[in-house]
Amino acid sequence: MPRALEPNQRFPVVLDSDKNKPVESQPTFFAKSLSMRDQTKLSSELDEAFAKPTTAEIFEATCEILNRYIVGWKNMGDFSHGCDVQEFLGIDEARELLRKVYANQHVTTEEKKS
């Protein structure tokens, strides 16, 4: 079914480093599913973020983008959704997460069972 027909649908995304953890305790982000138009917008936002002149500005812009596309998470210890992701994500993890969101690489039913 086309994503546009299911507005406000959210899907789980797991970082590669967490794939082998037990499903019930696996750190999981929830992202909006993106249409091609959304993907184009996200791609432009990422290009702009990584063109910033300083590392601090790149990190800040990256977090702003994450805040627009990540709509929740679970199993993140003491970090509740809405807190500053800079407190628990590295830039490599943030970039991986955004790549997965951009590509609509959500956890499949089969992956959740493993």
Q: 51: which 2 tokens? A: 């063109």
The enclosing H or E element of 30 equals strand 28-32
Whole-model pTM?
Answer: 0.84
Q: 66: which 2 tokens? A: 């994450």
Residue 19 vs residue 35, higher pLDDT:
19
Q: What's residue 83's pLDDT?
A: 85
Residue boundaries of the structural domains of the chain:
3-113
Share of the chain above pLDDT 90, in %: 70
CA distances from 11 to 8, 30, 89 (A): 10, 5, 19
Segment 56-93, tens digit of pLDDT: 999 999 999 999 999 999 999 999 988 889 999 999 99
